[in-house]
Amino acid sequence: MPELTRKRPEFRNINAFKDLTTYRLPAAGWVSILHRVSGLLMFLLLPLIVWLFDTSVSSEISFERFASAFAGGGWLPGWLLKLVVLALIWAYLHHFIAGLRHLWMDVSHDAVSKQFGKTSAVVTLVLSIGLTVVLGAKLFGLY
């Protein structure tokens, strides 16, 4: 009997320049890769995170220094520091939400399905980007 479905392409020996430009990664794959990227970003920027926290809570004078760094009075332009902090906000939110997704899939037997993987991946991406936009608007003084 003839097969009515279209044959899917097989990727065996992947050429990074030819095949990866045409390969469509599913949402769950993007969440998995971005989970690793966000963890690496938070790890690499840990000294900045410690400095931001220490400067903001040490004293009133250090808090003024902290506030002036965001206003552009530090060794970095204020907008650049805000972009780095925005990247950290996204990294934390994405890593946290994707981590909860992975924990839920480990604990729940109903969560191990193709449909749940796709749905939860899309929810993870929408929540992390949406919350980042809301907090980024606050960070840049839009409200």
* 95 assigned to a ligand binding site: yes
**Are 55 and 66 in contact, with CB atoms under 8 Å apart?**
yes
N-term to C-term CA, the chain: 63
Report residue 136: phi and psi, to 5°: -65, -35
Closest CA to 106 of 119, 122, 117: 117
Q: How far apart are CA 72 and CA 6, in angstroms?
A: 57
Check: CB of residue 139 under 8 Å from CB of residue 85. yes
Binding site per annotation, positions for heme:
95
Binding site per annotation, positions:
95
